Chain A
Amino acid sequence: QQPVQSPQAVILREGEDAVINCSSSKALYSVHWYRQKHGEAPVFLMILLKGGEQKGHDKISASFNEKKQQSSLYLTASQLSYSGTYFCGTEFNGSSNTGKLIFGQGTTLQVKP
């Protein structure tokens, strides 16, 4: 039931765009996105609740397609500071009301000058 992220790794030049996908085989209640820089703790980016919403701040946005049970994270005009490993965390429909997340395996993003 671990969600599957794709791609596993991506290398970009500054200013290029990237899309990271997160797919689940179970019906989703919410999708959370986190970024972890090397040697640091994961940091929350955003949460998307079921209903097919899209969110964003600055040049990082995300969408949630409830029917496809899939979320995508969009990074536009990437900056060096975007480098890190991105994780999606999923809450399933019908799961206990604990905020428990099941995380994907991660996507490593490297932005080069």
Chain B
Amino acid sequence: DVKVTQSSRYLVKRTGEKVFLECVQDMDHENMFWYRQDPGLGLRLIYFSYDVKMKEKGDIPEGYSVSREKKERFSLILESASTNQTSMYLCASIIGGAGSGEQYFGPGTRLTVT
């Protein structure tokens, strides 16, 4: 079974803290994605990576950065957490490029910034 795991299911951080969300996939997938999910807004793409050390901005990259040092691991970093970053964060991976099929999602991290 394809497995995408995320480091935490629930996380509570204070405003201004640096936050790391980790995602690991075990299927040797090329591409990995970070989304945030908010009610009524669906899944919005923050960043994605198509190879080790390669990244591209999604639709809402402001306030976030990412790191992909190894193929299986994709990290989302909130440099200075703010309350408007309280959300559900989902990581996903896919085997290859356009039309290649299913994105496999992790279970999500619900982040609360106080």
**Residues of chain A whose beta carbon lies under 8 Å from any beta carbon of chain B:** 2, 5, 8, 29-30, 32, 34, 40-44, 47, 49, 87, 89, 91, 95-106
Contact = CB atoms under 8 A, between A and B. Distances in A.
Contacts, number: 78
Interface in B5-29: none
Contact of A102 (B45, B98, B108): B45
A8 B94 CA distance: 28
A38 B89 CA distance: 15
A41 B43 contact: no
Contacts of A104: 42
Interface of B: 4, 31, 33, 35, 40-45, 48, 50, 56, 58-59, 90, 94, 96-108
16 contacts: A34-B103, A41-B4, A41-B90, A43-B105, A44-B102, A89-B103, A96-B50, A96-B98, A98-B48, A98-B97, A99-B31, A99-B96, A99-B98, A100-B31, A100-B33, A100-B45
Given A41-B105, A44-B101, A100-B33, 13 more contacts: A40-B107, A44-B102, A47-B99, A47-B101, A87-B43, A89-B103, A96-B98, A98-B97, A100-B31, A103-B35, A103-B44, A104-B42, A106-B42
